[in-house]
Amino acid sequence: MNGRNLRVNGERLWSRLMEMAEIGATPKGGVCRLTVSDEDRIGRDLFAKWCREAGLTVEVDAMGNMFARRKGRLAGPAVMSGSHLDSQPTGGKFDGALGVLAALEVVEALNDAGIETEHPIEIVNWTNEEGARFAPAMVSSGVYAGEFDMDAVYDGRDRAGLRFGDELARIGYKGDAPMGGRDWKASFEVHIEQGPILEQEDKLVGVVARVQGIRWFDVTLHGAEVHAGTTPMDRRRDPIRALHEMLKGCYEMAAAHGEWARFTVGDMTVQPGSRNTVPGRVTFTIDLRHPEDQVLDSMERAIRAAGEAAGTPHGIDVEVTRIWASAPVVFDAGCIAAVAQAADLCGYETREMISGAGHDSVYVARSTPTAMIFVTSKDGISHNEAEYSSPEACEAGANVLLHAVLEQAGVAG
């Protein structure tokens, strides 16, 4: 059997997505399954159970990354697929979980059909892709790729002061498998688009060829706390005034850098936080994105200049600190072609895409030929409890993954 007519069981995939979504379910239909939380542990345990029932061996490395392996006729290298099971605080059912469970469904479909592959197949659940509880994002795939120091990641703390390494051990997922260096022939990740393009074009599947670069910054505006009623306007060092002017400059900068430029302020704190006190300090975050490094350089220079221009006239000291960067990625041409061919075989119309979001595949691509598969998101909504991808879209992504994996793993003769 060559497997060309093989398809996944969409009902089984959907059922598992819905069962996983019950873990950390929120009142508005989303999930809160923060990394290395009790909910994360329960989700991991369920995934491991399903994998073992499918005949896979499961290993966990020192960062808590889970690897579930199906033997091939050859000892290795394996074709890898997967994503993450952790979520945003008010996340959706599909972000990350679809990629993990679609990879499991590929194995289940092969088992059902009695197909042996030449190369092994390995499923991964990466720890802390979201970065919502412990920043930065994609941290465990980053440790795997040598981007981050594991001990430094262990020492990271959440807002409650809890240490990442301690929490990983507490939930029982600080594993013994060696960190890094796994033998992979190719890698594929299915993910919801998290944007509106596929839905607008009435397509279920996107072939992801590139990923935008991302840079994260912490910004602090230092002023002076004074009484709101007694201090004349011209005698204040008011960081809010500088904030207004800086943000205006930054939004104008983003507009000037074209359609792929992204500028976001996602978190802000005003101190001391009293309504009758001019604040002494404002802190906020910046997320910059663009597919080209040189454009990101220009955007970064522009936000620093905007801070200086806004702060100086008002006596405000502005600190802009880059805390993390992920370079733009161009995926492997052979893996991109495998995804496109798989979609064509399954009868899905596609378009080539650039991912505006970061994914673990960014770091995997440093050492392994990699590509991604997007499926349509209703109204382009993600990182939101209203996030939704239809059963048809999820099944389509898994079918494309199945045939891309088969193309790379080979059917044993």
CA dihedral 3, 16, 91, 144 (to 10 degrees): -60
* CB neighbourhood size of 187 (10 A): 27
**pLDDT at position 413, please?**
75
Distances (CA, A) of 281 to 157, 224, 235: 23, 7, 16
- CA 412/CA 110 separation, integer angstroms: 12
Distances (CA, A) of 38 to 23, 35, 71, 83: 10, 9, 31, 19
CA dihedral 174, 176, 177, 178 (to 10 degrees): 100
Domains defined for the chain, CATH in brackets: 10-212+328-409 (3.40.630.10), 213-326 (3.30.70.360)
Taking 3-state DSSP, the helix, strand and coil percentages for the chain, each rounded to the nearest 5, stand at: 35, 25, 40
Q: Which tokens hold the place of 126?
A: 């990466």
Q: Which tokens hold the place of 22?
A: 């019950």
- CA 207/CA 238 separation, integer angstroms: 48
- CA 60/CA 67 separation, integer angstroms: 6
In 3D space, the residue among 250, 55, 36 whose CA is nearest the CA of residue 125 turns out to be 36
What would the pLDDT profile of 79-133 be if each residue is shown by its tens digit?
999 999 999 999 999 999 999 999 999 999 999 999 999 999 999 999 999 999 9
Kindly report the length of the chain: 413
Answer yes or no: are the C-beta atoms of 185 and 407 closer than 8 Å: no
**Does residue 296 sit in helix, strand or coil?**
helix
Counting as low any pLDDT under 70, the low residues of the chain are: 1-2
Distances (CA, A) of 307 to 160, 251, 269, 313: 30, 12, 17, 11
In 3D space, the residue among 199, 171, 149 whose CA is nearest the CA of residue 37 turns out to be 171
- CA 73/CA 297 separation, integer angstroms: 48
**pLDDT at position 357, please?**
86
**pLDDT at position 2, please?**
58
